[in-house]
Copies of this chain bind each other. A is one copy, B any other.
Amino acid sequence: MQQQLREHIEKIIPLTDEEFDFILAQFTTKKFKKHQYIIQEGDNVKYAYWVISGLLKLVYTDNSGKQHIVSFAMEDWWESDYYAFHTQTPATLSLECLEDTEVYCLSYEGYGILCDQLQKMERFFLQKANFGFLAAQRRILSLLTTDAKERYEQLVKQSPALVQRVPKSLLAAYLGVSRETLSR
């Protein structure tokens, strides 16, 4: 499990044993059951999470009560309400388990310590942020340029594992179409 996290980080920057020990000291682990909330709207968001096993959905609920999926997170993914996390303001999103899930938790302070004291980790987070931004930009383009069917096909091609594990009604809420349309 530690090994899994270490490999994840070392995909971007090699570490010494001492460095990894220092990093690991900033993390705690936690287990959640299916349907459990990790973050609820209004919560104070203390942590960013890295998924060891399981599956999460990050959701925005609009005024009319409709749910929209900002993103899914499975093994090896980071997730949180990052706006709330970085600005230390109440959550506007909720983070909920679609399966029993185990995560590494990195506190806001831990994040600051890692960035301040280990330049390698700041580099790591910079890479993650850059690629996260690029992924978001690609998704914007996909929403601007393609219709529902095409977006679904893209998703199946890109993340077949996700399509297997997630109910179609949720995929619809991620792609921005109604459940019924997706089914046809």
Contacts and interface: CB of A to CB of B under 8 A. Distances in A.
Interface of A: 60, 62, 66, 68, 70, 82-83, 86, 115, 119, 122-123, 125-126, 129-130, 132-134, 136-141, 143-145, 176
B130 A136 contact: no
B143 A143 contact: yes
**Copies of this subunit:** 2
Among A60, A123, A137, A145, max chain B CB count under 10 A is at: A137
A138 B122 CA distance: 24
Contacts of A176: 143-144
B83 A144 contact: no
Contacts of A123: 115, 122
A4 to B, nearest CB: 24
B145 A70 contact: no
A152 to B, nearest CB: 15
A93 B95 CA distance: 33
A83 B139 CA distance: 13
B140 A82 contact: no
A132 B86 CA distance: 13
Contacts of A141: 60, 68, 70
A70 B134 CA distance: 11
B145 A60 contact: yes
Contact of A133 (B60, B66, B82): B82
Nearest to A136: B136
Nearest to A87: B134
Contacts of A66: 145
Nearest to A86: B130
Given A141-B70, A145-B60, A176-B144, A126 B122 contact: yes
